[in-house]
Structure 1
Amino acid sequence: MSLVSAEEAGVASQDEVLWLGGYPILRTRLAPFVATLLACLEPGGGRRRVFFANTNFVVECRGLREPLQDPSVTIVNDGIGLDLAAMMIHRQRFFENLNGTDLIPSLCRHSSRPLRFFLLGGKPGIGDAAAATLRDSLGQEVVGVCDGYGQMRAEAGRLVETINAARPDVLLVALGNPIQERWLLEHSDQLEAPLAFGVGALLDFLSGNARRAPGWVQRIHMEWAFRLMLEPRRLLKRYSVDLFTFFGVCIRARHITGA
């Protein structure tokens, strides 16, 4: 079993880190993690880039393992697959499931002031609808929206400049694995936003384009089955063939690195 302290892994918390699939995954709870993130918004708080490790992340981001160990990066667990892998390799579970769909609203609720968001990614119109939810339901400010299609291509060379000019506290990048991780890592040094998240389908959920599972389904860790039922064509391979790849990646990484 390979355990290092979060401090050694470059995260601003005293929680432990579990290595899974070659990635350092922070083992923490939602409330203290949100407090740690909000501290980044204070003067001198530094910058933090947050990624949510589900089984798809572990499989698709293998080529980014080294840059994902940068001290400015924090990876947290998302989904029952990570829990099963942690039990198999480390004989312990994560404290609770962490995902952007829960974390971002919690960040908004616990902030002492409205946060300034920039939304990057999603199909045309999705970001605008997600922005409306952030403003109307969560009381936040949205200082910029750029979809992941025509707008992003049109902005291309000046996108980072556009984001910085908007002065967001929080940048949400919804381009899917591994595109969002690669984009954030490549531009991390130039991006001035204190907090940046690779959020996958979050904008779809905020916009109402996708539905969350009922609370009781989330509590029994079956949200993946609910999503599979709604989007079988897109998700069947991820929750079948790719699961075997995921566990294979975790086992091979354990033998190679001791993690």
Structure 2
Amino acid sequence: MNLAANFSMLASRRSLFGLSVCDCGWSSALAFLNDLACLPLGQTVVSFLNANNANLMIADGEYRQALSRHLVLPDGIGVDLASRVFHGAPFPANLNGTDFVPALLTYMTHSMRIGLVGARREVLERAAANLRAHAPWHEVVAISDGFFDKENSQEVVSEIERQGLDILIVGMGTPLQEKWVDAHIRPKHARLVLTVGAYFDFAAGVVPRAPSLVRRLRLEWAYRLLLEPRRLGRRYLIGIPLFLCNLLRYRFGRVSDMTVPLERPAMVPLPPLTDFDDGAAEIQAPKAAAGSGR
């Protein structure tokens, strides 16, 4: 993409619950983030907005502020519904982290040094091994599990800096991971940062993905609820009605959805790059890493 195309894509955003969410398809998103990761300076933090995260953001001002400084991608049927209500159409693509991370690593042809932080140590090591098998031209390093003292993060942050990363992937659960990245991770640590929730559990093969038909029907949330009812019951059985209430409150109440955060996503201006035809053939799904997901 050239400079104008990059900022054109950024300008095409939709406000959901007062947060700007990128309005782009797979091709544009992958090409754009690939370009950002190749820049010699600056940093972009990528987060994902789904129905559960929207509920948390509405109740947590610190989390909202962190997201306002990130590049936010749409994740799931809930935000598609919100987009229909507020803007009359769904998002062009469901850019959920479950599929987006392996697709991005496949798309990136230049070798990247990638660090992982989060999950249990054994899960993180398996996720790193599977990502190396999925995209062997990248270097993937398991840096730290997610169970360190978040009030005393200097050792982990110093190790991240020592590794000389291009990309940092953090999976410690929402909203902790976004707040932690916002507080501790700077451009010297990585040019591109992805906050990915439970992705490492999927990448390690600890938690299976839903069958493809279930995913096409946009019912992976129900499949996950069946697999982990105790952990996810509150998120879905209480969270879905709460999300619908929030949606109605913003749509018909006194809360305006058109409020756009004052701070733009944390990134630097792009130099001219080669043109990218967003109308090109759709990006093919990557070869399934042993359990890719979020």
**TM-score band, normalised by the shorter chain?**
0.7 to 0.9
Is 1:257–2:253 an aligned residue pair? no
Alpha-carbon distance between aligned partners in 1 of 2:157 and 2:7, rounded to the nearest angstrom:
25
Q: CA RMSD in A?
A: 2.3
Give deviations 1:208-228, integer Å, cap 9, x for gaps: 011111112111111111111
- Give the whole-Å Cα distance in 2 for the aligned partners of 1:170 and 1:115: 7
What code does the residue aligned with 1:145 have? I
The equivalent residue for 2:241 is 244
- Please state how far the C-alpha of 1:124 moved relative to its aligned partner: 2.7
Q: Following the alignment from structure 2 to structure 1, what is the Cα–Cα distance between the partners of residues 53 and 241?
A: 14
Please name the residue that 2:274 is paired with.
Answer: none
* Residue aligning to 2:94: 97
> Which residue of 1 is the match for residue 190 of structure 2?
193
Q: How far apart in 2 are the matches of 1:229 and 1:189?
A: 39
- Between the aligned residues of both structures, percent identity stands at 33
Structure 2, unmatched stretches of 5+, are 259-294
3-state secondary structure, aligned to 2:174: coil
Aligned counterparts, 1:45-64, within 5 A: 46-61=42-57, 62-63=60-61, 64=63
Gaps of at least 5 residues in structure 1 are 1-6
| Higher RCO structure, 1 or 2 (CA under 8 Å, sep 6+) | 2
CA–CA separation in structure 1 for the residues paired with 2:246 and 2:151: 37
Q: Does 1:77 align with 2:71?
A: no
Tell me the equivalent position of 1:67: 66
With over 3 angstroms needed to count, the CA separation of the structure-2 counterparts of 1:156 and 1:12, relative to structure 1, is farther
Count, aligned residues: 248
Q: What does residue range 117-156 of structure 1 map to in structure 2 within 5 Å? A: 117-139=114-136, 140-150=138-148, 156=153
| Deviation by residue 1:61-117 (Cα, 9 ceiling, x = unmatched) | 3322233222xx211111111111111222110111111121111111111223211
Structure 1 pair 17–212 and aligned structure 2 pair: CA distance change class (3 A)? same
CA contact (8 A) 2:47 2:194 kept: yes
TM-score by length of structure 2 reads 0.77
| 1:217 maps to amino acid | V
AA of the residue aligned to 2:47: F
Q: Does 1:173 align with 2:170?
A: yes
TM-score (norm 1): 0.87
The match for 2:288 is: none
Q: Tell me if structure 1 keeps the 8 A contact 2:124–2:142.
A: no
1:88 pairs, out of 69, 85, 88, with 85
